[in-house]
């Protein structure tokens, strides 16, 4: 006599399997915590068709195989019941002695996850398609590529911690970001010589903005990063040897305040040679600098060249706003518009000018403070037709003046 249990189709049911009165299948098992758990499906086997009117789902025995594999590999059940937010907070708590910029990125991501429903998802239920869809939605909702890249840059290693700790089997954020969303970042091109001339002339002649002329000229002719520029102190300017000492940056963070930080890499520490024109600008800045009642000291540094109305050091945001207002005023007056110019565009422009003047690439890399020469050559060197035309003319002239080269 055969006492084996069967479903309504006459198929033998395995241990733990049962078909309920409504036709749905159930599997009972004991997880690694010793807890009694259940999973359900309207399909017993992978070959069973999806039932009309029922949700599309994995068959019961496919679920059983995954459960048994997780038990064998000692994968923590249900991802330890951690949410995406909780996992991210654990990951961040493990990161010590990080740069203030990195710490600010962590806070941004955690605050986002507290507000976004995605943060309350259990980590073992987040699939690859879920992660991709979430990032795509963020871009559609107006978040920029760099912001999304920062978010993914925190969640990817956070989920990898969960994989390494056997909380989940796969990392749903282990994919190339560019394969999911497009890079909508605005390329910051070097401005033309004519735009540079018009911009500087306008600043110099404007009654309000003329006080920023020397600083803007320095930015356009040194390649300094804006955080390096605002961090300059009186002792960093060496008029005897005609050089600028760069070994720190000045940053200001919400909730932290002013902070002196080291350059990102050892290449950022350098000495930039000054031209006579740049030196003259620095002399005027120092001459016109008002001595504050109390000299601000930040992490041991004092004598900052640029101070605001409250006698605090200016930061990047100040200069970015100055550039914005100058461009807006210029374009409101003249029909021939100038492009968007920022402190970082000044850096691009300086690098491109030096490259078009055929400065040795390694020398330019040193002046710019790039750790990788490919950044110097590929990212900052925006040469156009004018530069190419001049180079062709130069080579042609050299050939014609060389009697050893015969032109056929």
Residues with a catalytic annotation lie at 225, 264, 344, 347, 370, 380
Strand order in the sheet with 25-30: 17-19, 25-30, 36-41
| Residue from 293, 287, 286 nearest 312 by CA | 293
- Stated as kind and residue range, the H or E segment containing 354 is helix 343-356
Distance from chain centroid for Cα 99: 14
- Stated as kind and residue range, the H or E segment containing 41 is strand 36-41
Euclidean distance between CA atoms 161 and 164, whole angstroms = 5
What is the radius of gyration, based on Cα positions, of the chain?
31
Cα–Cα distances in Å, from 233 out to 214, 283, 289? 15, 13, 11
**Sign of the torsion angle spanned by Cα atoms 304, 308, 312, 314:** negative
233 close to 297: Cβ distance less than 8 angstroms: no
Cβ–Cβ contacts within 10 Å for residue 5, how many?
12
Euclidean distance between CA atoms 362 and 91, whole angstroms = 39
Cβ partners under 8 Å of residue 137, min gap 6: none
With both helix axes pointing from N to C terminus, report the angle between 84-93 and 145-164 in degrees, rounded to the nearest 10.
80
212 close to 322: Cβ distance less than 8 angstroms: yes
| Residue from 216, 230, 253 nearest 316 by CA | 230
Euclidean distance between CA atoms 258 and 317, whole angstroms = 13
Euclidean distance between CA atoms 320 and 109, whole angstroms = 25
In the chain, the N- to C-terminal Cα span, in Å, equals 104
């Amino acid at each position: 006599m055969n006492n084996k249990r069967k479903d309504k189709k006459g198929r033998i049911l395995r241990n733990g399997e049962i078909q309920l009165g409504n036709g749905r299948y159930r599997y009972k098992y004991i997880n690694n915590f010793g807890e009694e758990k259940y999973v359900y499906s309207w399909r017993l086997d992978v070959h069973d068709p999806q039932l009309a009117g029922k949700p599309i789902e994995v068959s019961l025995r496919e679920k059983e195989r995954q459960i048994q594999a997780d038990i064998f590999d000692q994968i923590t059940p249900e991802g330890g019941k951690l949410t995406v937010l909780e996992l991210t907070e654990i990951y961040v708590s493990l990161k010590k002695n990080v740069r203030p910029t990195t710490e600010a990125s962590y806070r941004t991501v955690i605050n986002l996850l507290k507000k976004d429903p995605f943060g309350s998802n259990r980590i073992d239920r987040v699939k690859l398609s879920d992660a991709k869809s979430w990032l795509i939605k963020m871009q559609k909702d107006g978040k920029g590529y760099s912001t999304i890249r920062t978010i993914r840059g925190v969640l990817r290693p956070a989920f990898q911690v969960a994989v390494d700790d056997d909380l989940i089997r796969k990392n749903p954020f282990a994919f190339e970001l560019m394969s999911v969303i497009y890079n909508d970042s605005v390329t910051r091109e070097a401005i033309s010589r004519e735009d540079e001339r018009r911009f500087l002339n306008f600043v110099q002649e404007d009654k309000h903005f003329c006080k920023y002329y020397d600083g803007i000229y320095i930015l356009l002719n040194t390649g300094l990063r804006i955080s390096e520029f605002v961090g300059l102190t009186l002792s960093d300017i060496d008029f005897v040897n005609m050089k600028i000492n760069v070994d720190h940056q000045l940053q200001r963070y919400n909730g932290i305040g002013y902070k002196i930080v080291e350059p990102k890499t050892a290449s950022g520490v350098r000495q930039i040679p000054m031209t006579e024109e740049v030196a003259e600008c620095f002399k005027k800045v120092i001459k016109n600098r008002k001595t504050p009642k109390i000299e601000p000291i930040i992490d041991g540094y004092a004598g900052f060249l640029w101070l605001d109305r409250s006698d605090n050091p200016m930061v990047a945001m100040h200069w970015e706003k100055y550039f914005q207002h100058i461009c807006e005023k210029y374009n409101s007056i003249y029909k021939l518009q100038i492009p968007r110019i920022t402190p970082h565009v000044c850096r691009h422009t300086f690098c491109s000018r030096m490259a078009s003047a055929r400065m040795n690439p390694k020398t330019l890399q040193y002046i710019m403070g790039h750790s990788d020469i490919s950044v110097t050559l590929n990212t900052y060197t925006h040469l156009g037709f004018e530069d190419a035309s001049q180079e062709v003319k130069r080579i042609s002239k050299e050939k014609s003046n060389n009697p050893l080269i015969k032109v056929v």
